[in-house]
């Protein structure tokens, strides 16, 4: 989809559809007022009669033959607070409604007034990102590809003032890059475990390296053995698929600038191992590599943007299966950091592979290290799908990530890492146990990782509830690619 930006009057533009936002509190202001005048009070009448209101995402499509040059008018509710989240909901609603019409091109009238250039940029970004994400389909495994309805080919964004054009264009650029990152992350997540293996992910990393000038290194099991990654290797020893530690380096800043390191859990299938999971819904555990996939997607997005930052992506990848050689409850392994771990539950395997990857991250002397993992069912219980769980040993880093979450609509919520919880990981036999009992499961998992990141500014995002959806929208969401990309854009110097 091609997107352009103009200051033309939206009512004067010829298009299949004109999209206009309605604020919940101030419904007929700005562009809505302009369109209302052009249509002889139609917008106000619809609102007065309660045929339409400003609830975020609420849509109403009308055929038009007078007043505006577009053939249809799509009114979309923007919600109350004009948050990124509300605007994203609005864009999604608009994209879906528009999809049911035959519209091939549309005009989206951005609503923010000239005083807030950042808001214009944000809206433009969310339109670009949202419309292309809404058109996402995963049909590469079908022998007969679904016939796609005619999709939107062209979109024109109108802004009120000339000085908003530059920020809108930059927003479109960011939105397109994030959309490409989301697509990559979603594709990798949706692929089944028999295709998306650790070896497959390593191949995809090399491919991404070639197309986007990343330096890619893949450590095989022999190399990991030399590095004494006993914890990571204990997980893959029960699988026929060899583990891989994938390292992707993006250099957009000076050589000496400390990189941000992103570490993504890449469990291509998690059956639980000897502590086997119940059968119902187990197919969803192909999504246990979505943290890793988000690292791929974020690197793609920032490389497309040529962002002036240094970023290293590390994806430890393995399967977790029951087998004669698999980890057994009670086994004690030694991590790369030298700390010993008693494996009480072989299904708490994510932390076992992440701890060695985090120790490996130390060699990059990172400005910050952020791990992203579908780590605990407990996090799904705590926060559900609206927010990823955020844990950090650094308040500034935590604040920056929360801000990026708010700005992108891909939100996180901070959880505690207090020492009080560390006691739950005590083991009579080893330095620690790999699980901390029933209570505060998301926190004790994070506390486990905290023991391997004491020398670094570190944050952990538990995306178990956000990385994929069930029900009618079943599939990978690509989260938190937009949060991470926003964070890195905010870190980059403004040139």
Active centre residues (catalytic): 277, 351
Between 133 and 288, CB nearer to ligand BES = 288
Residue 233 binds which entry of Zn ion, Mn ion, ligand BES, none, CB below 5-8 Å type-dependent: none
Beta carbons within 8 Å of 415's beta carbon, 6+ residues apart: 382, 389, 390, 391, 442, 443, 446, 462
Between 3 and 271, CB nearer to ligand BES = 271
Q: Are 184 and 485 in contact (CB under 8 A)?
A: no
Beta carbons within 8 Å of 99's beta carbon, 6+ residues apart: 134, 135, 149, 151, 152
Residue 441 binds which entry of Mn ion, Zn ion, ligand BES, none, CB below 5-8 Å type-dependent: ligand BES
Smallest separation, CB 337 to ligand BES (Å): 20
Residues 452-491 within binding reach of Mn ion (CB under 5 A): none
Between 218 and 263, CB nearer to Mn ion = 263
d(CA 177, CA 252): 16
d(CA 216, CA 458): 23
Give the position of tokens 């302009």. 34
Residue 435 binds which entry of ligand BES, Mn ion, Zn ion, none, CB below 5-8 Å type-dependent: ligand BES
For residue 88, give both structure tokens.
Answer: 């994203």
Residue 319 binds which entry of ligand BES, Zn ion, Mn ion, none, CB below 5-8 Å type-dependent: none
Q: Are 326 and 237 in contact (CB under 8 A)?
A: yes
Q: Are 394 and 457 in contact (CB under 8 A)?
A: yes
d(CA 91, CA 370): 29
Applying CB under 6 A, the residues found at the interface with ligand BES are 270, 288, 345, 347-350, 374-378, 380, 435, 441, 464
Residue 402 binds which entry of Mn ion, ligand BES, Zn ion, none, CB below 5-8 Å type-dependent: none
d(CA 256, CA 473): 44
- Which x/- pattern, by CB under 5 A, does the window 214-253 give for Mn ion? ----------------------------------------
Backbone torsion region of residue 350, taken as left when φ is above 0, otherwise alpha when ψ lies between -120 and 50, otherwise beta:
alpha
For residue 487, give the H/E element and its range.
Answer: helix 481-491
Between 88 and 288, CB nearer to ligand BES = 288
For residue 136, give both structure tokens.
Answer: 């996402």
Q: Can you tell me which of 221, 319, 347, 462 binds Mn ion, judged by CB under 5 A?
A: 347
d(CA 211, CA 204): 11
Question: Which strands, in side-by-side order, build the sheet including 72-77?
Answer: 2-6, 154-158, 105-109, 17-22, 72-77, 59-63
Between 206 and 277, CB nearer to ligand BES = 277
Examine residue 270 and tell whether it contacts Zn ion (CB under 5 A).
yes
Between 274 and 459, CB nearer to Mn ion = 274
d(CA 131, CA 179): 9
d(CA 58, CA 489): 31
Smallest separation, CB 288 to ligand BES (Å): 4
Between 172 and 344, CB nearer to Zn ion = 344
Return the range that interacts with Mn ion (CB under 5 A); candidates 182-190, 217-225, 252-260, 341-349. Answer: 341-349
Between 17 and 375, CB nearer to ligand BES = 375
Give the interface size with Zn ion as a residue count (CB under 5 A): 4
DSSP state of 243: P
Return the SS3 of 482. helix
d(CA 46, CA 27): 11
Asked if the peptide bond before residue 480 counts as cis, ω within 30 degrees of 0, the response is yes
Residue 464 binds which entry of Mn ion, Zn ion, ligand BES, none, CB below 5-8 Å type-dependent: ligand BES
Q: 141 to each of 195, 264, 414, how far by Cα in Å?
A: 10, 25, 38
Between 256 and 281, CB nearer to ligand BES = 281
Q: Can you tell me which of 16, 221, 288, 400 binds Zn ion, judged by CB under 5 A?
A: 288
- Which x/- pattern, by CB under 5 A, does the window 209-248 give for Zn ion? ----------------------------------------
Return the range that interacts with Mn ion (CB under 5 A); candidates 45-53, 242-250, 263-271, 309-317. Answer: 263-271
Residue 461 binds which entry of Zn ion, ligand BES, Mn ion, none, CB below 5-8 Å type-dependent: none
Residue 208 binds which entry of Mn ion, ligand BES, Zn ion, none, CB below 5-8 Å type-dependent: none
Give the ranges where 340-394 is alpha helix by DSSP (H).
Answer: 350-361, 377-383
Examine residue 270 and tell whether it contacts Mn ion (CB under 5 A).
yes
Smallest separation, CB 416 to Mn ion (Å): 23
- Nearest residue relative to Zn ion (C-beta): 270
Give the interface size with Mn ion as a residue count (CB under 5 A): 3
Return the range that interacts with Mn ion (CB under 5 A); candidates 16-24, 232-240, 342-350, 452-460. Answer: 342-350
Give the position of tokens 């009070």. 41
For residue 140, give both structure tokens.
Answer: 């590469």
Smallest separation, CB 281 to Zn ion (Å): 13
d(CA 2, CA 298): 22
Examine residue 264 and tell whether it contacts Zn ion (CB under 5 A).
no
Please report the DSSP string for 41-69 in residue order.
THHHHHHHTTS----TT-EEEEE--SSSS
Residue 132 binds which entry of ligand BES, Mn ion, Zn ion, none, CB below 5-8 Å type-dependent: none
Please report the DSSP string for 131-144 in residue order.
HHHHT----TT-SS
Q: Which residues bind Zn ion (CB under 5 A)?
A: 267, 270, 288, 350
Q: In the complex, which residues of this chain contact Mn ion (CB under 5 A)?
A: 270, 347, 349
């Amino acid at each position: 989809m091609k997107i352009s930006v103009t200051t033309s009057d939206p009512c004067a533009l010829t298009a299949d559809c004109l999209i206009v936002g309605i604020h919940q509190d101030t419904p007929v202001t700005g562009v809505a007022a302009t369109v209302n005048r052009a249509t002889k009070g139609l917008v106000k009448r619809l609102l007065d009669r309660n045929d339409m209101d400003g609830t975020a995402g609420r849509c109403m499509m009308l055929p038009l033959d007078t007043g505006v040059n577009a053939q249809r008018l799509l009114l979309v509710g923007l919600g109350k607070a004009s948050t990124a989240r509300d605007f994203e909901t609005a864009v999604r609603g608009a994209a879906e409604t528009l999809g049911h019409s035959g519209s091939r091109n549309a005009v989206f009238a951005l609503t923010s007034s000239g005083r807030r250039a950042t808001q214009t940029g944000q809206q433009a970004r969310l339109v670009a990102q949202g419309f292309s994400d809404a058109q996402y389909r995963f049909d590469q495994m079908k022998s007969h590809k679904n016939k796609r309805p005619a999709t939107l080919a062209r979109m024109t964004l109108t802004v009120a003032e000339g000085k908003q054009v530059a920020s809108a264009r930059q927003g479109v650029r960011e939105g397109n890059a994030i959309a490409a990152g989301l697509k990559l992350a979603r594709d990798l997540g949706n692929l089944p475990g028999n295709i998306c293996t650790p070896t497959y992910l390593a191949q995809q990393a090399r491919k991404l390296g070639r197309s986007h000038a990343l330096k890619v290194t893949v450590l095989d099991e022999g190399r990991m053995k030399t590095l004494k990654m006993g914890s990571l290797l204990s997980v893959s020893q029960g699988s026929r698929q060899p583990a891989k530690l994938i390292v992707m380096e993006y250099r957009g800043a000076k050589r000496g600038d400390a990189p941000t390191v992103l570490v993504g859990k890449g469990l291509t299938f998690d059956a639980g191992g000897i502590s086997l999971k119940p059968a119902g819904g187990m197919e969803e555990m192909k999504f246990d590599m979505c943290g890793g996939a988000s690292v791929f997607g974020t690197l793609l997005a920032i490389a497309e943007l040529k962002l002036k930052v240094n970023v290293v992506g590390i994806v430890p990848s393995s399967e977790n299966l029951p087998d004669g050689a698999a980890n057994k409850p009670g086994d004690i392994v030694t991590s790369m950091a030298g700390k010993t771990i008693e494996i009480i539950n072989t299904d708490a395997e994510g932390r076992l592979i992440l701890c060695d990857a985090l120790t490996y991250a130390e060699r990059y002397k990172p400005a910050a290290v952020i791990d992203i993992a579908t780590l605990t069912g407990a996090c799904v219980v705590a926060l559900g799908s609206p927010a990823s769980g955020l844990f950090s040993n650094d308040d500034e880093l935590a604040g920056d990530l929360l801000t990026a979450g708010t700005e992108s609509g891909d939100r996180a919520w901070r959880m505690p890492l207090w020492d009080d919880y560390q006691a739950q990981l005590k083991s009579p036999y080893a330095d620690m146990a790999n699980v901390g009992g029933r209570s505060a499961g998301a926190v004790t998992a994070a506390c486990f990782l905290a023991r391997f990141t004491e020398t670094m500014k570190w944050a952990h995002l538990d995306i178990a509830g956000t990385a994929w959806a069930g029900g009618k929208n079943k599939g990978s969401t690509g989260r938190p690619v937009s949060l991470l990309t926003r964070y890195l854009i905010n870190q980059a110097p403004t040139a």
